[in-house]
Amino acid sequence: MCGIFGIISNKSNLEVGKLIREGLERLEYRGYDSAGIAVVNNGAIELRKKSGRIADINKNGWLDSIPGQFGVGHTRWATHGKPVQHNAHPHLDCTGKIGIVHNGIVENYQDLRKELLLRGHDFKSDTDTEVFTHLIEEFIAKGFDLKDSVIQTVKKCRGAYGVVVIHADTPDYMIVARKESPLVLGIIPGESTYCASDIPAFLPLTREAIILDDDEVAILKPGEVEIYGVHEGKKKNISPFEVSYSIDAAQKSLDGVQFPWYMIKELHEVPQKIKEQVQIPQTDLDGFCKAIMDADHVFITAAGSSYYAALAGKFQITRCGGPYIDAVLCSEFVDLVPKLSKNSLVIAISQSGETADTIEAVRYARDKWNAKICSIVNVVGSSLTRYSDHVLITTAGPEIAVASQKAFCTQVTALSLIGLRIAELHNTISKNEVTMYKEALAATSKITQQILVEQGKIKEIAGKLMDFENVYFLARGISSAAALEGALKLKEVAYIHTEAYAAGESKHGPIALIEDGFPVIFVSPPDETYDRMIGNVMEMKSRGAVVYSIVSATDEKITSISDYTIRIPFLDSKYAIDTCVVPCAFVLQLMAYFISIKKGLDPDKPRNLAKSVTVK
């Protein structure tokens, strides 16, 4: 949540404002209700900030033309204080010499603010962040240098922070610090240093990166970084690593084709990303699988789409002979699981690896109950990876669209692979079945490709659904994960109220809303639930619902009682049908995209949402 981008360089004639604005635009998926830039310019700080999206704020080059030598910018997702100009970052201290941007939450900001007000500080915003600026101001006044002032300040602040601090009187460096909010550094040795909330922000500028750890503070100079521990104060020796993914990953083009939105570009990446996921070395899964099989109680936890991937995954792992797994939303974990038995294990799923609730659940299970942690994460080096005993990195690559889609597809695939590896290592299902499942899993790449080729039908149905205010999604068994993901996607990117229900449960409430013309989407692959689904379709139809069904290419029965169908070219085998979540969810993700653009909305940046939810 919130994007930070800063730059310090010794290159002459650098367009600092433009570079910062471009970096912020690459981070806009993290928050987009206001933005601003502060730069040091000949012994003073220049500040420009406003509410709104960066492109609007930068009309006539207002941000690009800010004069200065180095500086920092911020794109905000409001937590403390409305998204208005005075709450936009950067914030300045009373002297106007210190500028700061912050991602995270200062939990004790009210007490700190009260004390600072009593000591005569003038607050210009309602944010928690502003306490940082005034505390740093006080430490500077006491004679500390900028780095030590930041260290003293973060020691007083409880909570999470990624902060960048500039000072008008220190023209040759800036300071960054981090705890529980991401902050990464990019370096062109001897020339330029960048700091950002995420690597794609500086990928067009450099591939040399350092991921700052919790409780670290760094001095950034042009092309040079010094890192210190906040508590022990010692200088650390950390070398940059080379980022392996391509710049394309963070742009709207793919294989030379330019897409209008990240969401559709990333949906087009799905076939290839599944292929890469399926091809990861099987032995990479062994530690993960052993930990699951050795545990006495296994939980799986996540938020949003990652949680729905978790629901599909827990089912697959158990079906393959792994243990029964309890799924708990990460935001509920601490409250719903007051006790973990000895030898418990938590599988955490997250695209960003930074979701605050996921991290809280994991830390609670690990620190309080000594549970082992296995995580499936898309972002290398993210916080979650640091709290885990075993990590499986998904192959989705950078995902920029706020509503996750390709990450979901690779998460489900990765969890299925874990189930199959457990089956292989523990002979829980026959070798022949493992082979059939593996073939089916690999085929989901081709099936999603085929769905893209034949997307006309999905577009047509999108046109029929776009004007409804409410849509139900019904499914049974593992397909419920696809229905939940489809309902979430439609809600997020097309602002349609949706509910996904277990089809059998629909009689216990949802059916009361059914009247002539109410749209109900059934996810109905021909699995063991199929005959019961026929009954559920009939119940809805006979009360006037308009039925849209996701079925197999050869389906007859549900097709004959549905008003519209989208047919998925599954392979003709039980194993392919058991592996249906990704193709079914993919169809629904595409449909949500088409409805969003037909309604003239921005599918990449839905209102009020942010991609990386780093607040609880």
Binding stretches for ligand G6P (CB under 6 A): 303-306, 350-352, 355, 358, 402-404, 609, 611-613
Closer by beta carbon to ligand G6P, 37 or else 349? 349
User: Residue 244, Cβ neighbours under 10 Å: how many?
Assistant: 8
Cβ 81 to ligand G6P, closest distance in Å?
21
Closer by beta carbon to ligand G6P, 303 or else 537? 303
Structure token digits, residue 428? 């829980």
Closer by beta carbon to ligand G6P, 58 or else 378? 378
Is residue 105 helix, strand or coil? strand
Closest listed residue to residue 185, CA positions, set 4, 326, 26:
4
- Would you give the distance in Å from CA 165 to the centre of its chain? 26
Kindly report the CA angle at 122 between 117 and 127, in degrees rounded to 5?
85
Closer by beta carbon to ligand G6P, 27 or else 577? 27
Catalytic-labelled residue, pool 2, 409, 580, 584: 2
- Residue labelled with tokens 């936009």: 88
User: Residue 499, Cβ neighbours under 10 Å: how many?
Assistant: 17
Contact present, 453 and 581 (Cβ < 8 Å) = no
Cβ 288 to ligand G6P, closest distance in Å?
18
Bridge-based pairing of strands 3-9 and 564-568 is unpaired
Q: Which residue has its beta carbon closest to ligand G6P?
A: 304
Q: Is 320 tagged catalytic?
A: no
Enter the DSSP assignment of 233. Answer: -
Closer by beta carbon to ligand G6P, 351 or else 506? 351
User: What DSSP element (H or E) covers 44?
Assistant: strand 44-51
Closer by beta carbon to ligand G6P, 461 or else 488? 488
Cβ 393 to ligand G6P, closest distance in Å?
13
Question: Which one-letter amino acid corresponds to residue 439?
Answer: E
Task: Give me the sign of the Cα torsion angle 452, 454, 459, 464.
Answer: negative
Closest listed residue to residue 444, CA positions, set 395, 409, 483:
409
Contact present, 261 and 597 (Cβ < 8 Å) = yes
Closer by beta carbon to ligand G6P, 17 or else 182? 182
Closest listed residue to residue 361, CA positions, set 400, 387, 322:
387
Cβ 404 to ligand G6P, closest distance in Å?
3
Q: Is 2 tagged catalytic?
A: yes
Is residue 148 helix, strand or coil? helix
Cβ 355 to ligand G6P, closest distance in Å?
3
Burial 563-590 (b: 16+ CB within 10 A, else e): ebbbbbbbbeeebbbbbbbbbbbbbbbb
Catalytic-labelled residue, pool 97, 314, 491, 611: 611
Closer by beta carbon to ligand G6P, 132 or else 408? 408
Cβ 234 to ligand G6P, closest distance in Å?
32
Strand partners for 372: 345
Cβ 309 to ligand G6P, closest distance in Å?
8
Is residue 301 helix, strand or coil? strand
Distances in Å between the Cα of 3 and the Cα atoms of 103, 193, 518, 592 are 7, 17, 41, 26
Structure token digits, residue 175? 């300071």
Question: Which one-letter amino acid corresponds to residue 370?
Answer: N
Cβ 265 to ligand G6P, closest distance in Å?
16
Active-site positions?
A: 2, 611
